[in-house]
Amino acid sequence: MAKQASAVAPAGLFIFAVLIWLAPTGLFAEELPQHTIEGFWRGVQEGGDWAYVFEFKHVAGGDYSGGIHLYKNDQKVQEVPIDEIIYNGDEIELHIEMNDVRYLGKVDLGARAIDGEFHYKDGTSLAMMLNLVDPATLPGLCARGATAEGEYTYEYQVPGNMGDGWAVSHLQDQGFDPAMIDNLIAAIVAEDFGFLHSLLIARNGNLVLEEYFYNHKPEEPHRMASATKSIASLLIGIAIDRGLLEGPEESILDFFPEYASNAAPGWEKVTLEHILTMSAGANWSKQDLDGYNGSDDRFAKVFSQPIEGVPGERFEYISPNMDLLAGVIKKASGMHADEFAEKHLFGPMGIDDYRWDYGRWEGHPLMTGSLALRPRDMAKIGQMVLDEGGWQDRQIVSSEWIERSTSRHIDTNESEDYGYLWWRGKAPFEGRLVEGVFASGWGSQFIFIIPEYNLVVVTTGGNEDNSMNFAPLNMLPGYILPAVK
């Protein structure tokens, strides 16, 4: 399906949607029943590290239903439904309605193979051979290992002490009802919150829950998507704390004098604060947004967008504007943003394994959403913000910046407000609203901070295009807050 590999998802791949799929059927007999394709068929992208496992199940009337499990490096990262399966014994045609993708193949049941190719709406195609496989050989096919009856077992364990600075504790010792958390894990396995890769909970400075699903592991950095923007906010705060920047009121063009003469009218009125609050007023067309990552000069592309209205008056979520922050940090500190983070944020917090190379331009890491951190380190960031900028015995960011950046600065016309690249929300609970701050990345990459309960919750997932991105917000009032005694 994909035409080339990338660090985030295959380029050109159809939009994914999550299904609650059946447990593996166990069908892998020595002799296949005549004409049936029921089972699991695996294909590998040539020259890449992506694998596709097609699941076909016989349904009433002789038809088939199914879907595709997408793997990267032996970890299942997403699931997608097949909307129509046409099979006549020799040929198979699969329709994936999202992005209008088709797979056409020749079926050879004797060889347990399907020789076919994907066809894209732009007229291109990609060959992929599928081979029948035993589902027992597929790591992480289900959220958790299932019994033959499709059931799973779960036994709570205190998170491991990895020597990374986290204090660990039993749920009960930090005031949680373990039975409620057991129910939450069962809901995740049932995909009530879509397709989650991890869930971590910390309370009172102690990590009390750390669970991974679909073969994901604690030692692996996970893409944060747009939650990266909240890290950018912290870096701007650190630069201000160190006197490298005067403050959010500075004109953004003052950092880029080389672009001033060619900037669209209105940019002279845009400040750093307008970038931090998504209120610059730059008018981006869909065509410009779609082609942004291929720009020869990303800063020039941003400054070429006309400013409409008065900066600071209207919230509009435009990711490319955020890349200017990489230039601001470089101009102010002499270091690229990742180098600055290594010295002043990641290093002091013991965050020693991260990825920020995907989409790098002229040495600048993408501030729009390409950082990958281990979920435990995402939780560290949340704990540091909860503790007013402190981690253990070090002040990483000033309490003044934490207060300012997580306060409400602009109305989004949604249920959440916006600070400086941090969201503010309210969870309904026991007839009232519990306030919180969170970093949000598409696909359910969340860092939730609930000061009233001294609570940090982290999720990572693969809910990019299944209408389940915000589903994890429901676990706060539905499971986690009720579990606090």
- Domain presence at residue 148: no
- Domain presence at residue 430: yes
Residues 126 and 230 in one domain: no
Residues 233 and 380 in one domain: yes
Residues 316 and 461 in one domain: yes
pLDDT tens readout for residues 338-389: 999 999 999 999 999 999 999 999 999 999 999 999 999 999 999 999 999 9
pLDDT tens readout for residues 131-165: 999 998 998 898 987 655 567 788 999 999 999 99
pLDDT tens readout for residues 26-45: 344 444 445 689 999 999 98
CA distance 188 to 169: 22
Name the E strands within 109-175.
113-119, 125-133, 167-168
Among 137, 157, 177, the domain-final residue is 137
Angle among Cα 89, 93, 96 to the nearest 5 degrees reads 145
Residues 341 and 241 in one domain: yes
Residues 228 and 128 in one domain: no
Instruction: Report yes or no: 408 and 187 within 8 Å, Cβ to Cβ.
Output: no
Residues 128 and 227 in one domain: no
- Domain presence at residue 206: no
- Domain presence at residue 165: no
Give the CATH number, domain containing residue 109.
2.40.128
- Domain presence at residue 89: yes
Residues 343 and 440 in one domain: yes
pTM: 0.88
Give the CATH number, domain containing residue 241.
3.40.710.10
- Domain presence at residue 29: no
Residues 99 and 227 in one domain: no
Residues 357 and 459 in one domain: yes
pLDDT tens readout for residues 46-87: 777 889 999 999 888 778 999 999 998 888 988 888 999 999
Among 122, 137, 152, the domain-final residue is 137
Residues 127 and 230 in one domain: no
Among 114, 137, 160, the domain-final residue is 137
CA distance 102 to 405: 46
- Domain presence at residue 11: no
Residues 100 and 245 in one domain: no
- Domain presence at residue 262: no
Where residue 12 falls among pLDDT bands split at 50, 70, 90? very low
Instruction: Report yes or no: 104 and 93 within 8 Å, Cβ to Cβ.
Output: yes
Total structural domains in the chain?
2
Structural domain harbouring 116: 39-137
Where residue 6 falls among pLDDT bands split at 50, 70, 90? very low
